[in-house]
Structure 1
């Protein structure tokens, strides 16, 4: 079974190795350049400087981010790679067997259906996880300087490193396997796998992830605190900003816009200490509010989300096995 599985899927393995090599070369070259700039600029000591009054540290950080932050944004497409595992590996895994009729040969051999399915799913699934674990390690190394300055919690960083990337790939693989088992046609299963994976992942990323743990609230006095100085660390993940009243109640977005229109009308909004907005807030007992997730929660959030993905993948793979056993009994 192992030898047969290897022969059936060696093309996918070769493609995965080519993908890793194609990504590794530019990432290593640009990563070394970025690390050299980070180290030579002495930015390790400045990484926690924040966004307070301008200093030599903040100027150096701004120069570094101006040159390299866009690099982190440009590789955000990497978070789409797990879908490739679902579309090109998961969906054809069983869909192709049923489409070509080769499942009949497999099920008439001495190997039981359960063992046949178990070996195929385990070998190929673990291979997908291994490939994406290598990619995640590569991107984690590449992002190390950016993580020190920007933080690892923003989606463009969170989605491409840690255990999130291989866990998401396993989920996509499981979605594709189930689609292939149900539809028994490769191309339709590929299309369904893509749509279903996106439909699962996007709500988790947008709506569930910010609330794995209760966000932290931090406030700033409009007179005594510098803009941004209330944030625990510049590497934290800011979820929302606004205002709170003297009783600690958060103003709605509409109420915040009403304040801005009342202070500035349709003119340019000037912010910072001593601005009309700050004087208005102070005069009405209002404070700035920042709602954020601390960067220190990175691995906690990674493990929570990976657990969700792996749990869903196990359920979907079990459903695929049950469906095949029922349809071929």
Structure 2
């Protein structure tokens, strides 16, 4: 363990500033992690994780779907089975995909194309940088208001 101390005595006039001394670790008592400190650390981690979720989840669940209109594709169910189901059959042995295809049932997919990835990243980065700047402004304002 190391600590800093201000030099004193006759050498203080010659040297200015701080001197770095090393303490013998073998002679230092081993206290370990105190239970009170561990509880405070766990509480702080919990608060930080809760704040992260409180900031992140509304963006992921509410804002992200509104960034751009997703694309929709429809196509008929393939007769031979899809790659996901590989010819699934019902109890009678009839291929389910043949049954759906005969009745003109279509499958659809709602998605955002890959070329929108960086646009979404920039939107979210701008959102979080703006929130961080506002919070820093509030902290600076509160600290400057405080009287000592």
Match of 1:280 in 2: 99
| Pairing partner for 1:215 from 70, 84, 91 | 70
Partner Cα separation in structure 2 for residue 295 and residue 327 of structure 1? 49
RMSD over equivalenced CA pairs, Å? 3.5
| Pairing partner for 2:54 from 199, 224, 227 | 199
Match of 2:143 in 1: 324
After superposition, residues 113-262 of structure 1 pair within 5 angstroms as 191-223=46-78, 227=82
Partner Cα separation in structure 1 for residue 138 and residue 48 of structure 2? 15
* Superimposed CA distance per residue, residues 13-53 of structure 1 (whole angstroms, 9 cap, x where no aligned partner): xxxxxxxxxxxxxxxxxxxxxxxxxxxxxxxxxxxxxxxxx
SS at match of 1:264: coil
* Superimposed CA distance per residue, residues 90-121 of structure 1 (whole angstroms, 9 cap, x where no aligned partner): xxxxxxxxxxxxxxxxxxxxxxxxxxxxxxxx
Deviation at 1:324, TM superposition (A): 2.1
Structure 2 length-normalised TM:
0.54
Deviation at 1:203, TM superposition (A): 3.2
Deviation at 1:292, TM superposition (A): 1.1
Tell whether the 8 Å contact from 1:220 to 1:288 is kept in structure 2 after alignment. Answer: yes
Partner Cα separation in structure 2 for residue 289 and residue 189 of structure 1? 45
Structure (1 or 2) with the larger CA radius of gyration? 2
Tell whether the 8 Å contact from 1:210 to 1:293 is kept in structure 2 after alignment. Answer: no
Deviation at 1:301, TM superposition (A): 0.8
Tell whether the 8 Å contact from 1:217 to 1:289 is kept in structure 2 after alignment. Answer: yes
Deviation at 1:295, TM superposition (A): 0.6
- The structure-2 alpha-carbon separation of the partners of 1:320 and 1:264, relative to structure 1 and needing over 3 Å to count, comes to farther
Partner Cα separation in structure 1 for residue 54 and residue 78 of structure 2? 45
- The structure-2 alpha-carbon separation of the partners of 1:312 and 1:279, relative to structure 1 and needing over 3 Å to count, comes to same
Match of 2:110 in 1: 291
The structure with the largest strand share of the pair is 2
Structure 1 length-normalised TM:
0.27
SS at match of 2:68: coil
Tell whether the 8 Å contact from 1:222 to 1:282 is kept in structure 2 after alignment. Answer: yes
Match of 2:32 in 1: none
Match of 1:314 in 2: 133
Higher RCO, Cα 8 Å, sep 6+: 1
Any gaps of 5 or more consecutive residues in structure 1?
A: 1-185, 229-259
The structure with the largest helix share of the pair is 1
Deviation at 1:303, TM superposition (A): 0.6
Q: How many residues align?
A: 104
